[in-house]
Amino acid sequence: MDDLKLPLFLGGFALFFLIESLAAKRPWQEPRGQRLRMHAGMAVFNTVALKLIILAPFLYWTEYIASQGWGLAPMLGYSGFGGIIATIIVLDMFDYWWHRFNHRVGLLWRFHKVHHVDTHVDVTTALRFHPGELFISFFVKLVWIAVWGPSLVAFAAFEIAVSMASQFHHSNIDFPDRWERVLRLFIVTPRFHTSHHTVSRRTGDANFATIFIIWDHLFGTYREPDETEMKELGLAEGRDDYLSFVTWLTEPFAQRNQNQDDPERQSTT
């Protein structure tokens, strides 16, 4: 299944990029080619750099945990297809909390804000992450694997599901209200996630789910999207698209961020 990750990622990206081109929800405020080049460059850099550093130990750790039968999944008897489904659900809950911590812990926010500074959310925003955030999340996922104990196939399925969900809900598309209401009973939609990228703290500091929307309902962070609020995306301070490769890499270490490590920051994400 790991061999399917790249073709599914590229195929999904191409599909949502095409749909955006034909039926964009919000008018384009920047040259799409510039955004695509910059964000794709970020993704390539992250993929190459992190695979060189963490891929081998990550695979070894996952296989070792599975071979020892450690974790809640084998303890509860989850294996095969059922194990894959259970892994996607449970790790999506873990991912909800990890996302929430990225908004609450100053050091984590320094890196995560690079994703949220984008003032025009589209499918390329799903590529926009600082390598520091991904590097830290690697160690967090090692803990997830130790606690849950998924098979390598189940974890790969989760990674594919997260990747496809991220492309979908960052896309600059929308559904008729009737479809939206039905879809949002179960999954995170583009309208719901776009509300998380607004300047408004009401939704910017809420709506953290990645795949299944139930986590926001269960843990009290669900906020109904508001079309008026979604007219202004990004952050309240430092409104810059960071379409510079050097700025993207150095932004978390900028002096001004020392005043933005407080969880009660004026920005919203």
What are the pLDDT digits (tens) for 231-267?
Answer: 999 998 766 655 688 888 888 988 655 545 544 444 4
Give me the mean pLDDT over the 214-231 stretch.
Answer: 96
Cβ-proximal residues to 199 (8 Å cutoff; 6+ apart), any chain:
229, 232, 233, 234, 235, 236, 268
pLDDT at 158 over 80: yes
- What pLDDT, on a 0 to 100 scale, did the predictor assign at position 134? 96
Q: What is the value of pTM for the model shown? A: 0.92
More confident call, 104 vs 250: 104
From CA 124, how far away is CA 126, in angstroms rounded? 5
pLDDT at 86 over 90: yes
Give me the mean pLDDT over the 77-83 stretch.
Answer: 95
Give me the mean pLDDT over the 177-188 stretch.
Answer: 97
Beta partners for residue 212, in sequence order = 187
- What pLDDT, on a 0 to 100 scale, did the predictor assign at position 18? 97
Give me the mean pLDDT over the 137-144 stretch.
Answer: 96
- What pLDDT, on a 0 to 100 scale, did the predictor assign at position 263? 47
Q: Does residue 69 sit in helix, strand or coil?
A: coil
- What pLDDT, on a 0 to 100 scale, did the predictor assign at position 242? 59
pLDDT at 210 over 70: yes
- What pLDDT, on a 0 to 100 scale, did the predictor assign at position 29? 75
Whole-number average pLDDT of the chain: 91
- What pLDDT, on a 0 to 100 scale, did the predictor assign at position 240? 60
Task: List C-alpha distances in Å: 228 to 199, 200, 206, 263.
Answer: 11, 10, 17, 25
31: left (phi over 0), alpha (psi -120 to 50) or beta: beta
Pick from 19-33, 58-72, 99-113, 137-151: least confident: 19-33
- What pLDDT, on a 0 to 100 scale, did the predictor assign at position 51? 82
From CA 198, how far away is CA 188, in angstroms rounded? 16
pLDDT at 3 over 80: no
- What pLDDT, on a 0 to 100 scale, did the predictor assign at position 11? 96
